[in-house]
Structure 1
Amino acid sequence: MNINLKNKKEIHKNITEYTKLLKLPGIRKYYEEEINEAIQKDIGYEEFLLNLLMKENDLRQERAKDNRIKYANFPYKKYLEDLSISDLPSDAQKKYNTLKSLEFIKSGQNVILAGNPGTGKTHLGIGLGIKACLSGYKVLYTTVPILVNQLKESRSQKVLRAFENKFEKYDLVIADELGYISFDKEGSELLFTNLSLSAGRKSTIITTNLSFERWDEIFHDPVMTAAMIDRLTHKAFIVNMNGNSYRYKETEEWLKEQ
Structure 2
Amino acid sequence: MITNEQIKNLCSRLRLYALPRLLESEAHLAQEQGKNHVEFLHDLLSREVQERDSKDFQRRLKAAALPARHDLDLFDHNYSQGITAPRLRELRRLGWLEQNYNLILMGPSGTGKTFIAAGLVYEAAGQGYKAYMVTMEDVINTIKMKTLMPSAMSAYNRLLKADLVAIDDIMLFPVKKRMPQDSSI
Question: Displacement of 1:14 after TM fit?
Answer: 3.8
Which of 125, 132, 150 matches 1:140?
132
Contact 2:77 2:83 in 1 (8 A): no
Deviations 1:180-211 (A, max 9, x none): 1222368xxxxxxxxxxxxxxxxxxxxxxxxx
SS of residue paired to 2:108: coil
Question: Displacement of 1:83 after TM fit?
Answer: 1.7
Question: Displacement of 1:50 after TM fit?
Answer: 1.0
Q: Show the 5 A alignment for 1:217-232.
A: none
Distance 1:185 1:147, change over 3 A: farther
Question: Displacement of 1:87 after TM fit?
Answer: 2.4
Distance 1:185 1:139, change over 3 A: farther
SS of residue paired to 1:178: coil
Contact 1:86 1:93 in 2 (8 A): no
Q: Kindly indicate whether structure 1 or structure 2 has the higher relative contact order, using CA contacts under 8 Å at least 6 residues apart.
A: 1
Q: Which runs of 5+ in 2 are unaligned?
A: 179-185
User: What residue in structure 2 maps to residue 123 of structure 1?
Assistant: 115
> Amino acid of the residue matched to residue 83 of structure 2?
D
Question: Displacement of 1:75 after TM fit?
Answer: 3.6
Q: Show the 5 A alignment for 1:43-122.
A: 43-93=35-85, 95-122=87-114
Larger proportion of helix: 1
Q: What is the percent sequence identity of the aligned residues?
A: 25
Matches of 1:50 and 1:163 in 2, distance apart?
A: 38
User: What residue in structure 1 maps to residue 181 of structure 2?
Assistant: none
Q: Show the 5 A alignment for 1:149-164.
A: 149-154=141-146, 157=148
> Amino acid of the residue matched to residue 58 of structure 1?
Q
Q: How large is the Cα RMSD of the aligned pairs?
A: 2.6
Q: TM-score, normalised by structure 1?
A: 0.61
Q: Show the 5 A alignment for 1:234-249.
A: none
Q: TM-score, normalised by structure 2?
A: 0.83
Contact 2:57 2:126 in 1 (8 A): yes
> Amino acid of the residue matched to residue 79 of structure 2?
D
Matches of 1:44 and 1:28 in 2, distance apart?
A: 19
